Amino acid sequence: MGKDIKLALVYRDMWQSSGKYVPRVDQLVRVAPPIIDMGCFARVETNGGGFEQINLLFGENPNISVRKWTQAFNDVGIQTQMLERGLNGIRMHPVPADVRRLMFAVKKKQGTDISRSFDGLNNPQNLELSFRYATEGGMIPQAALSLTHSPLHTVNYYIDLAGKYIDLGAKEICIKDMAGIGRPVSVGKIVAGIKSNHPDILVQYHGHSTPGFSVVSSLEAARNGADIIDVGMEPLSWGTGHADLLTVHEMLKDAGFSLPDINMNAYMAVRSLSQEFIDDFLGLYINKQNRFMNPLLIGPGLPGGMMGSLMADLEKNLKSINKWLTKNNKELLNQDQLLIRLFEEVKTIWPMMGYPPLVTPFSQYVKNAALMNISQMIKGRERWSMLDENTWGMLMGKSGQLLGPIDPDLQKLAGDQGREKFEGKPQDLYPDELDVYREKMKEKGWDFGQDDEELLEYAMHPPQYEAFKSGKAKEDFLADKAKRQETQNAPIGTSTALPKEVELTIQGIKYKVDISYPSEKSLGLSPDVMHAKSSDNHAGTFIDAPLEGKFFLTKNSSETAIKIGDRVEKGQTVAYIEAMKVINAITADKEGTVAEILFNSGDEVEEDDHIIKLS
């Protein structure tokens, strides 16, 4: 008999590496029994990452989902694991310490055994609290090494990092190869080094398939002492997902490892149900490009987990860029051309930004900066002429220290904008907030929920939770789903898009007439906003949206929103636009007094929309 090795199914990550959504709770409950009956998994990844925010977005209570989904595995002794982002908890921006602490207590009570904690910059100081709070809550604290490939991220760097995490309380180590760009031999050397220094520490390998290394990396990890290998399965393995169960299982058996057989009848049941979920609605949110492996990603190193959102962002940016190119009588770009430009820009700016590991949320920051740079440079502006607040926070040390130096041009730009380097502990920047949300829930008459789980959800995802409670999230999701289904079901050769031009013949002469329409959102504005929009042609000046996205007057509960009558100075932050998972501060490019606010918080805005009228 060869050495025992175990497998973990990353069922949540399979979905979120392919598209936007995960199955509903009724679907998850149906697929759990055949996953168990497959008989080959020691662990199943059930939640974490963006799982709960996604539940809220389609109008489902994530706490009910987690409890029901984990129950079946708890009953038979299969361990459940979640992914959490350290300082950012299970969202994209930093979380107060008291909210982080409550999260671990709640997730254990809901049925999650293991917390896989990672810090996007691999900063031990940001994970110390995660290990402590997970242990206090009764969870197994697993530390993830965010693997990337650069002159600074060497084999010895990762071996030493694992030691630091273990000293701070981590009981297991995960090699988190989120982009699948870890070179297989180096992956093996990292595992061997950790096992040599810490022979009793469990090591788990997690690798995405995108560039094609993950099967060999899984074998190298196993040969060098890894205890558990993460796998995906059809119909969502490969592509931006993970190496397939059947492939990895057979490879490990051939290499002499001992592992349980697969019940193929149960396997086919899980495969069939997953395909049924795709056909139901989830496939509407899976970009076909994400089903293909792409060695072009070896260069930029962007992770599989963000490729679903990347393709959606690319589509929106392409539309915006081509709109400008059309106005200026320039040749349009197609999606492939923009994608290649994006990859090249990421390779260019990543070293300039200090080599942050390309993992959530910092992969999004680098990708967003690259997309913005491309857009701005196409329009004749300078690189870095628009950089979101989240990215500036990373560059200035508010998420921890970067491994590499910041480019001198970025340092100068920070100085010109009065931004100062932060040298302290990032957690200190975010004071406790649970009491604030307790009071808000009391005022609204909302229950804190079993084990304070509803309080946690509100404090972790405030705008999404409010939209869930009001029913707006479900309403918006159903409308979006119907729109996508209508587009998908349109007969071949037809289009649901409104025509952009028409050719007319008048008195024998042909005329080509361009057609413009009011923005889709403007047709559904509330009466007060509609009245404000009608004043666009009146006297006054406007602050315009520099990009499309979701409009907000504040970014958190501690800020005070501007209001009609307030004086605005040039350079002052007046609102925010959430786009591509980050918050972009909108600064006034002129001074004046706020006469009207033309959108409600949460409304979608288009690039160049008037958002605030000044007098």
Same domain, 226 and 305: no
pTM of the model: 0.81
pLDDT at 572: 82
Same domain, 420 and 539: no
Distance of alpha carbon 551 from alpha carbon 578, whole angstroms: 7
Distance of alpha carbon 539 from alpha carbon 465, whole angstroms: 39
* Residue 510 clears pLDDT 60, i.e. is over it: no
Query: Which of 525, 492, 512, 498 has its CA nearest to residue 596?
Result: 525
- Of the residues 429, 452, 469, the one at which a domain ends: 429
What's the pLDDT tens digit per position in 180-234? Answer: 889 999 999 999 999 999 999 999 999 999 899 999 999 999 999 999 999 999 9
Same domain, 220 and 325: no
The answer to whether position 564 is within a domain reads yes
Same domain, 141 and 272: yes
The answer to whether residues 178 and 241 touch, using CB atoms and an 8 Å cutoff, is: no
Strand-pairing partners, residue 51, are: none
Handedness of CA 546, 549, 553, 554 (dihedral sign): negative
Which residues, other chains included, contact 482 with Cβ-Cβ below 8 Å and sequence gap of 6+? none
Distance of alpha carbon 151 from alpha carbon 322, whole angstroms: 37
The answer to whether position 514 is within a domain reads no
Tally the domains of the chain. 3
What's the pLDDT tens digit per position in 282-322? Answer: 999 988 877 888 787 777 777 755 665 666 677 777 888 88
The answer to whether position 141 is within a domain reads yes
pLDDT at 466: 95
DSSP 3-state of 578: strand
SS3 sequence, 461-473?
Answer: CHHHHHHHHHCHH
Which residues, other chains included, contact 448 with Cβ-Cβ below 8 Å and sequence gap of 6+? 438, 441, 454, 455
Same domain, 40 and 114: yes
| One-character DSSP codes across 479-541 | HHHHHHHHHHHSPTT---SPPSEEEEEETTEEEEEE-----TGGGG--HHHHHHHTTTTSS-E
**How confident is the prediction for the chain on average, in pLDDT?**
87
Higher pLDDT, 503 or 87: 87
Same domain, 361 and 246: no
**Domain ranges, residue 608:** 521-614
Which residues, other chains included, contact 355 with Cβ-Cβ below 8 Å and sequence gap of 6+? 148, 150, 152, 153, 402, 403, 404
Same domain, 244 and 344: no
**Phi, psi at residue 185, to the nearest 5°?**
-65, -40
The answer to whether position 199 is within a domain reads yes
The answer to whether position 494 is within a domain reads no
Same domain, 305 and 204: no
Here the CATH number for the domain that contains residue 78 is 3.20.20.70
- Of the residues 256, 285, 314, the one at which a domain ends: 285
The answer to whether residues 202 and 237 touch, using CB atoms and an 8 Å cutoff, is: no
- Of the residues 410, 429, 448, the one at which a domain ends: 429
Same domain, 200 and 84: yes
The answer to whether position 460 is within a domain reads no
Q: What is the dihedral of CA 545, 550, 552, 558, to 10 degrees?
A: -130
* Residue 486 clears pLDDT 50, i.e. is over it: yes
The answer to whether position 238 is within a domain reads yes
pLDDT at 583: 75
Tokens in use for 506? 């008048």
Query: Which of 33, 477, 8, 443 has its CA nearest to residue 265?
Result: 33
Region of residue 598 (phi > 0: left; psi between -120 and 50: alpha; otherwise: beta): alpha
The answer to whether position 509 is within a domain reads no
Same domain, 418 and 374: yes
Cis peptide upstream of residue 211 (ω within 30 degrees of 0): no
Distance of alpha carbon 423 from alpha carbon 429, whole angstroms: 11
Same domain, 248 and 330: no
Same domain, 563 and 610: yes
Query: Which of 2, 11, 174, 172 has its CA nearest to residue 78?
Result: 11
| One-character DSSP codes across 295-330 | GGGGTT---GGGHHHHHHHHHHHHHHHHHHHHHTT-
Here the CATH number for the domain that contains residue 525 is 2.40.50.100
The answer to whether residues 96 and 432 touch, using CB atoms and an 8 Å cutoff, is: yes
What's the pLDDT tens digit per position in 131-187? Answer: 999 999 999 999 999 998 889 999 999 999 999 999 999 999 999 998 888 999 999
Which residues, other chains included, contact 13 with Cβ-Cβ below 8 Å and sequence gap of 6+? 45, 49, 83, 232, 241, 242, 305
Distance of alpha carbon 115 from alpha carbon 92, whole angstroms: 17
